[in-house]
Amino acid sequence: MKELDHFIAGKHVKGTSGRFGDVFDPATGEVQAKVAFASRAEVRKAVEAALAVFPEWASVNPQRRARVLFNFKALVEKNMDELAHMLSSEHGKVLADSRGDVQRGLEVIEFACGIPHLQKGEYTEGAGPGIDIYSIRQPLGVCAGITPFNFPAMIPMWMFGVAIACGNCFINKPSEKDPSVPLRLAELMMEAGAPAGVLQVVNGDKEAVDAILEDPDIKAVSFVGSSTIAEYVYSHGTAHGKRVQAMGGAKNHAIIMPDADLDQVTDALIGSAYGSAGERCMALPVAVPVGDKLADALIERLKPRVETLKVGPPTDPDSSYGPMVTAAQKQRVIDYIDMAVKEGAELLVDGRGFKLQGYENGFYLGGTLFDRVTPEMQSYKDEIFGPVLQIVRAHEFDEAAALPSKHQYGNGVAIFTRDGDAAREFASKVNVGMVGINFPIPVPLAYHTFGGWKRSAFGDVNVHGPEGVRFYTKIKTVTARWPKGGVREHPDFNIPTMK
């Protein structure tokens, strides 16, 4: 059986801990590989390799670092099909979605190629008599990313693209469920011209995570995953003196106004709630129609669409979505469906009994639709992370708008309306980090920044965009004076001012 190792100091390194995890083919349910779990000593080897090359990489001028990223971008594009098939085979998302996963990561690489401009500081000439003040942004050193299973290409590139562009070295600890794509990306970064040790991959579980969080030479950690783990990563990492940005879970709402185009809304909900089997932190798992008449009309359109979703193998171009990543993840979602039924939600479409002929052991789950879900239900409060759409009926706009604002998560939200005033007011006042107006998945483009509020994000700085540059650099401010020759000054014991 294939064994997946680590990528340290520019080469594949076999695991020595003796501990391994199973990597499944979600379409068939079979174990396709074993992945080595790193010990603390193996994580430390990666840190030492990064420390050894950091002075060299940090001293490379920004334009030449950008050229390496340009080369990397071209190599990823050249190997797009290989990466997409690799991603689908371990995650289960359909090939078109896997290509999108890679492409959205590449967009941040494109942004990071502008690092000569992005890393510029500020300059004030003549701040005082013969005094100039300027600031410079310098790399932190060794940085690390702990990345999730649902976007094994995009999220690592969101992190290491900006970090490496700024002159840092980066260690990626990907999900043990689908580690092959991050390993391949590290190979391509080497082929693009990055020195050995600039981008490394260590696979593993909590032991590797804690080693990263506690290592004194790792200066910053970026994380994406569940809120419980995000909070742990943030508190444990900051307690060890690190910068930490930790993105957590989500329960994104779609507010649907009576004047909305229901055909557009139906298409948007079907794609955003069920795409990638709902395994997205920016999915729309909650629809909030305003008024019973609108809710009934929406369900009339939604129910047959959910019932006819084509759940199939990732390689079938006609599949709406593929299997879930593991049997445990599938069971977790089934447990939430059971919970919602017990809580009194009205089950309109039940996906629990879905079986795909020829793939009976695959981790497939049919689309599920609930009506009359209430904010008191635990299944509404929690992130389900599966192909489940819950409808919460609201009587008026203010009631609907309050739901995402009061929810424990604040990652994304959408409103569907033709009323510009209502949309503007909603976008301004809603207590959520990313807002879509007639746009179901409001993931900002690479030159803006990604991040939620409340329990969807821990830390003060968001991911990619200008915020990413700030996260992966430290600012140094220099105050310089060049006295005129032959002029002697007497000691001044007062604090300097510009009076």
Q: By C-alpha distance, which of 321, 355, 385, 334 is closest to 88? A: 321
- The structural domains of the chain, with segments of one domain joined by +, span 2-248+456-478, 253-437
The β-bridge partners of 289 are 256
Signed CA dihedral, 382, 387, 392, 396: sign only: positive
pTM: 0.95
Residue 321: per-residue pLDDT: 97
pLDDT at residue 304, as a whole number: 98
| Same fold for the pair 2-248+456-478 and 253-437 | no
pLDDT of 488 reads: 64
Cα distance between residue 295 and residue 287, in whole Å: 9
Tell me the Ramachandran region of residue 123: left when phi exceeds 0, alpha when psi lies from -120 to 50, beta otherwise: beta
Residues designated catalytic: 281
DSSP code at position 321: B
Q: What pLDDT is recorded for position 497? A: 73
CA dist., res. 313 & res. 142, Å (int): 40
Alpha carbons 26 and 279: distance in angstroms, whole number: 13
Architecture of domain 2-248+456-478 in CATH? Answer: 3-Layer(aba) Sandwich (3.40)
Give Cα separations from 367 to 198, 312, 373 (angstroms).
Answer: 42, 12, 17
253-437 topology per CATH = Aldehyde Dehydrogenase; Chain A, domain 2 (3.40.309)
Query: Are 164 and 170 a contacting pair, CB within 8 Å?
Result: yes
Radius of gyration of the chain (CA): 25
Q: Bridge partners of 222?
A: 145, 245
Say what the pLDDT of residue 498 is.
64
Q: What is the pLDDT of residue 486?
A: 61
User: Mean pLDDT by 10-residue block, N- to C-terminus, for the chain (499 residues)?
Assistant: 96 96 97 98 98 98 97 98 98 98 98 95 90 96 98 98 98 98 98 98 98 98 97 98 97 97 97 97 96 98 98 96 97 98 98 95 98 98 98 97 97 97 96 96 92 95 94 96 73 71
